Amino acid sequence: MIPWDKLHGATTHFPIALLLFSTLCDFVSVTFKKLPFARGLRLVSFYGLAVAALGSLGAVVSGIALAKGDLWGRGYLGWHHRFVWPAFGLLVALAVWRLVVGCEMSRVGTRVYLILMLLASGFVAAAGYFGGEILLSGSGVP
């Protein structure tokens, strides 16, 4: 019997942390673009986002197994999923876009990208919050 609850716990936190850190690095590099390490921060955010997207695949697979294939659910699980799926879709899309474009983004491209990164971070944070509520409420999944 595979301990999906432990695997899900082990695989979710890295993508969450990496996405939030990547967003932070992007914002700092854009806000302080004249700093000597601004370009370095953009590289860090790029690799952070790529690893977060790859890691999210493991988190999603273990989550689906843990919820026994229930992709929506009710209560906290339902709220968790309402935020997880948009976050997952956005994370993959943003990672692919960065892979294609690299660090050379136009001004408009950068703005759109940062807004979407902020949105993805919000979705991921909310999904993580409701994931924690599932545990703390003692209700388990499902």
Partner 1 sequence: MTPLEIKGAVAAVVTSVVILVATFTAGGIYRNHRGGETELGGKPLVAEDLAAKGRGFFLRSCAQCHGRDADGGEDAPSLLNLQISGAHMTLVIQSGIKGEMPSFSKKYDAQDTAAIVAYLKGVNKSGVKPPGTHL
Residues that bind partner 1 (CB under 8 A): 60, 64-65, 68-71, 85, 88-90, 92-94, 96-101, 105-106, 108-109, 112, 136-140, 142
Closer Cβ to partner 1, 33 or 68, answer by number: 68
Burial class (CB in 10 A: 0-12, 13-18, 19+), 115: exposed
Closer Cβ to partner 1, 21 or 85, answer by number: 85
CB of 61 to partner 1, least distance (A): 8
CA distance 46 to 22: 7
Closer Cβ to partner 1, 35 or 71, answer by number: 71
The DSSP secondary-structure symbol of 140 reads -
Q: Would you call 13 helix, strand, or coil by DSSP?
A: helix
